[in-house]
Amino acid sequence: MKKIIITGTSQGVGLGIALKCLEKNDRVFACMRNVDSAPDELKSVISEKNNGSMIIKMDVTEDASVQTAINEILNNTDSIDTVINNAGTFHEEAFEKTSIDSIKRVFETNFYGPIRTMQAILPQFRKQKYGHIINVTSAAVDVTPPMQSAYTASKTALDGISRSMSMEVDDHGIAVSAVEFGRIATNLVPNFMKQITLDEESPYYSIESDFYKLNEKLNQDAIPPSKITDEIYEVIAAGKDAKYKNPVGDEARFWIDSINEKGREFFVKGGLKNIIKDLIKDR
């Protein structure tokens, strides 16, 4: 039985990972910013398992909230095996139009959020002489899709800082991994898309409307979190033997294989836009 902290477990992939870990009889510290809206399914499985799993309040954008949550968890257990930085937010807009405030908003959750949890747990991991950090990044780190510059930057920054610091902490028995997936059927992108209206006068109208169609297609074809949680669990189960980079799901592998096959230069110099045109040709 592993003891696992997961951020952003109120819905989507985080909820799926929490339920998978509970199914495997792990002890889960399911963190979420609004504990009052904790899903009934999660509450009932936690109470059924009766193994010390609990729901913990944590807003990853606030230093004090993260530290208080980690303190509370460590008051309830003397060790933690795994921390999964899953909580995340999304942004899609042409780079020129993306405000600094929007970029900061995305970084606050997707980049500084995981940094807060990692820095809060590392003293405990060093004391134990083991621990595994798993960051949820995205195939966007490899694909660098247009229209997602802020989102891609936040996940790429997380990837960079994690790879760098992983070489500092491995002497202390601590491993770091990234799980990267493609589009998953959650509220993340659809909720963001609801705020968007296409403007034909925009200088970026052509790519904006292509991305609108691409999102509709990807959302329609997306697999539910339950279809990737087995693969994510393999990374959790591997612990210190897990690889750093773990593409999860066929869509992530499709994009990463396409880059490897065609070469990054081809991909960024128009090749990706052609693949996208091909994917949306019937729309």
Ligand X SMILES: NC(=O)c1ccc[n+]([C@@H]2O[C@H](COP(=O)([O-])OP(=O)(O)OC[C@H]3O[C@@H](n4cnc5c(N)ncnc54)[C@H](OP(=O)(O)O)[C@@H]3O)[C@@H](O)[C@H]2O)c1
149 interacts with ligand X by CB under 6 A: no
Q: Which of 19, 189, 235, 236 binds ligand X (CB under 6 A)?
A: 189
Element (H, E) at 28: strand 27-32
Contact segment (CB under 6 A) with ligand X among 3-11, 76-84, 233-241, 269-277 equals 3-11
The count of chain residues that interact with ligand X, using the rule CB under 6 A, is 28
* Per CB under 6 A, 88 contacts ligand X: yes
138 binds ligand X (CB under 6 A): yes
Residue corresponding to tokens 């606050």 = 108
Closest distance to ligand X from the beta carbon of 203 (Å): 27
Identify which of residues 3 and 33 has a Cβ nearer to ligand X in the complex: 33
Angle at 255 between CA 104 and CA 149, to 5 degrees: 20
Considering beta carbons, is residue 10 or 53 the nearer one to ligand X?
10
Q: Which of 61, 67, 144, 156 binds ligand X (CB under 6 A)?
A: 61
Residue whose entry in the numeric block shows the structure tokens 């773990």: 246
What the block records as the tokens of 160 is 């960079």
| Among candidate residues 163, 149, 141, the one with its CA nearest the CA of residue 247 | 141
Report the residue number, 133 or 136, with the smaller CB distance to ligand X.
Answer: 136
Binding of residue 102 to ligand X (CB under 6 A):
no
Reference 21, options 211, 237, 180, 189; nearest CA is 237
- Report the residue from 87, 133, 141, 236 that binds ligand X according to the rule CB under 6 A: 87
Kind of pairing between the strands at 3-6 and 82-85: parallel
What are the φ and ψ backbone dihedral angles of 270, each rounded to 5 degrees? 100, -20
Query: What character string, x for contact with ligand X (CB under 6 A) and - otherwise, covers 107-126?
Result: --x-----------------
Site for ligand X in 15-44 (CB under 6 A): 32-34
Residues 6+ apart with CB under 8 A from 75: none
Q: Taking CB under 6 A as the rule, does residue 187 contact ligand X?
A: yes
186 binds ligand X (CB under 6 A): yes
How many residues are there in the chain? 283
Does residue number 147 form part of the binding site for ligand X (CB under 6 A)? no
Rounded CA separation 18/39 (Å): 11
Among the listed residues 6, 18, 84, 188, the single contact to ligand X using CB under 6 A: 188
Q: According to the binding rule CB under 6 A, does residue 142 interact with ligand X?
A: no
Which of 11, 124, 156, 209 is the binder for ligand X (CB under 6 A)?
Answer: 11
- Full DSSP string of 86-148: ---------GGG--HHHHHHHHHHHTHHHHHHHHHHHHHHHHHT-EEEEEE--THHHH--TT-
Residues in contact with ligand X by CB under 6 A are 7-8, 10-14, 32-34, 58-61, 86-89, 109, 136, 138, 181, 183-184, 186-189
